[in-house]
Amino acid sequence: MSIKVGIVEDNALLRSSLATSLAGKDCKVVFTAAAAIEAIDHIEKSSIDVLLADVHLGGELNGIDVSLVWQKAHPEIGVVYLTSYEDPRTAIGSGWPEVAKNCLYLVKDSITDGSEVLKAIKTVAENKGSDRITKSGPLAALSDKQMETLRLLAEGKSNREIARVRGITEQSVAIAVNRISKALGIPSHLEKNQRVHLARVFLQSD
């Protein structure tokens, strides 16, 4: 059965590209919207499994607002956020940490084709978004040093800055980040997305 997807993205080219790349790949694009209000209008007339939402939309409402309104009406849907920012605090801004449940983040610049988007959509469609990882779960298994690295990463610090604070090499930081990702079950093949997911897991554990 196809996963029903709604897309809200104010960049016309990207919106069209996403719809085209997802067509026929276990997905059915139910609607595309260029603005928050347009996407919210579909709540009463469209049924979806996953909302693909640009965090920063033009206008008073952003992608987080859209996702929260949708999930209030349909708690079962998953959400994939699209952002241009690597730092999750910059990406989410004042909406942090009040974001949708069962969600994932993708950095736009790291999307080379539709495969990464499709993977994220399938993950939240199966109710396996990153908010399911809590401190009582995988985080409890991390060492104190790993938790310190994760905290610094969540603060938006680069590997170089983390290395300086911890008194280790940048290479050691990179290795530590990959090991933490593996422990938390977060894919490490895309560094930008990896760091966003790691930061989200840490901040939601507070």
Do 151 and 199 sit in the same domain of this protein? yes
Number of domains observed in the structure of the chain: 2
Do 12 and 78 sit in the same domain of this protein? yes
- Residue 21 tokens, joined: 């790349």
**DSSP string of 76-95, one letter each residue:** T-EEEEEES-SSHHHHHGGG
Q: Which of 111, 132, 153 is the last residue of a domain?
A: 132
CA dihedral 193, 164, 149, 91 (to 10 degrees): -40
83 with 91: CB under 8 angstroms? Answer: yes
| pLDDT tens, residue by residue, 153-182 | 888 889 999 999 999 999 999 998 888 887
Do 48 and 108 sit in the same domain of this protein? yes
Do 92 and 148 sit in the same domain of this protein? no
Do 25 and 57 sit in the same domain of this protein? yes
Do 52 and 108 sit in the same domain of this protein? yes
Do 69 and 11 sit in the same domain of this protein? yes
| pLDDT tens, residue by residue, 71-128 | 999 999 999 988 876 555 555 554 444 566 788 878 777 676 778 888 889 988 988 7
The residue segments making up the domain with residue 200 are 138-204
CA distances from 75 to 57, 64, 100, 127 (A): 22, 14, 9, 11
Q: Report the Cα–Cα distance between both ends of the chain, in Å, rounded.
A: 37
* CATH (domain of 172): 1.10.10.10
Do 77 and 96 sit in the same domain of this protein? yes
pLDDT at 9 over 90: yes
Mean pLDDT of 135-164: 78
The structure's pTM equals: 0.62
- Residue 149 tokens, joined: 């690295």
Do 63 and 117 sit in the same domain of this protein? yes
